[in-house]
């Protein structure tokens, strides 16, 4: 990640990243904030976003932005004006619209119609996790949001959690220059094999909807989560 960020920053003035939530990326964020890596990134040039957010207050332990601030962002000099939390202090639909507007300003300032052209690139890097039900972002099995074609950000009520989340969608994530899944633990092994080896049925395995149009896709897994795909 450090190499990639530095390489991109040799060609461009800023680096845009969408962070993932959940528990898996905590170790990555800890590492990035540790002495060894912290000084190898020009944090002033990073522009930080999130892939999804649980609709809970910022000071709630389940809030993805809080986790990233606690572990990473409070320890590195990214200017606050370049950190774009998904707001949970306003109505979820309004928050989704506001976030979409910020993303348009970054990636498609002239017109949203431009997004129809497949050459538009959005994030330099999107970090993603995988749920044991094969969800990624807040795209859960069986929900329409999986197949969203137009909106870049949606608010979704999840009946299994009796709660709302706000999530990026495939149209914006699949236009990233690089997408990285980070998965660990035996409890993810089945989901990993479904997503990577089964037929394409994103309604059942939503992470399959992640297919970069022009960018790169990488999966980083530990032995346990990759157990079922090993030859
Ligand atoms: C979230 C994430 C979600 C997550 C997976 C894996 O906020 O929950 O956006 O997609 O990455 O659920 O979560 P764990 O790493 O906690 O297993």
**Residues 16-34 pLDDT 10s:** 999 999 999 999 999 999 9
Mean pLDDT for 65-84 is 98
Q: Is 24 in the pocket of ligand 1 (CB under 6 A)?
A: yes
- Ligand 1 mean position, distance from CA 13 (Å): 30
The residue count of the chain comes to 231
- Ligand 1 mean position, distance from CA 95 (Å): 20
Q: Is 21 in the pocket of ligand 1 (CB under 6 A)?
A: yes
Q: Is 206 in the pocket of ligand 1 (CB under 6 A)?
A: no
Start-to-end Cα distance in the chain? 27
**Tens digit of pLDDT for each residue in 166-183?**
999 999 999 999 999 999
- Ligand 1 mean position, distance from CA 177 (Å): 21
- Ligand 1 mean position, distance from CA 136 (Å): 7
- Ligand 1 mean position, distance from CA 62 (Å): 11
Q: Of 40, 68, 75, which is closest to residue 52 (Cα–Cα)?
A: 68
Instruction: Please name the residue whose Cα sits nearest to atom 7 of ligand 1.
Output: 21
Could you list the beta-strand ranges (E) of 92-140.
125-128
Instruction: State pTM to two decimals.
Output: 0.96
Task: Assign 3-class secondary structure to 158-221.
Answer: ECCCCEEEEEECHHHHCCCCEEEEEECCHHHHHHHHHHHHCCCCCCCCHHHHCCCCCCEEEEEE
**Percent of the chain at pLDDT exceeding 90:** 94
Q: Of 137, 161, 141, 132, which is closest to residue 151 (Cα–Cα)?
A: 137
């Amino acid at each position: 990640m450090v190499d990639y960020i530095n390489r991109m920053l040799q060609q461009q003035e800023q680096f845009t990243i969408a962070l993932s939530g959940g528990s898996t990326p905590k170790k990555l964020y800890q590492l990035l904030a540790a002495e060894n890596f912290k000084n190898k990134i020009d944090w002033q040039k990073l522009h930080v976003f999130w892939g999804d957010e649980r609709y809970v207050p910022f000071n709630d332990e389940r809030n993805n932005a809080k986790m990233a601030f606690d572990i990473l962002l409070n320890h590195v000099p990214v200017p606050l004006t370049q950190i774009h939390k998904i707001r949970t202090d306003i109505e979820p639909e309004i928050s989704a619209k506001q976030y979409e507007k910020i993303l348009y300003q970054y990636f498609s300032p002239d017109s949203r119609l431009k997004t129809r052209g497949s050459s538009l690139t959005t994030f330099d890097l999107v970090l993603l996790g995988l749920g044991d039900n094969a969800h990624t972002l807040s795209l859960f099995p069986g929900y329409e949001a999986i197949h969203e074609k137009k909106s870049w950000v949606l608010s979704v009520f999840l009946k299994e959690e009796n709660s709302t989340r706000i999530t990026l969608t495939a149209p914006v994530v699949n236009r990233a220059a690089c997408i990285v899944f980070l998965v660990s633990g035996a409890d993810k092994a089945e989901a990993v094999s479904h997503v990577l080896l089964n037929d394409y049925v994103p309604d059942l395995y939503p992470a399959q909807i992640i297919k970069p149009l022009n960018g790169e896709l990488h999966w980083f897994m530990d032995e346990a989560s990759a157990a079922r795909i090993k030859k």
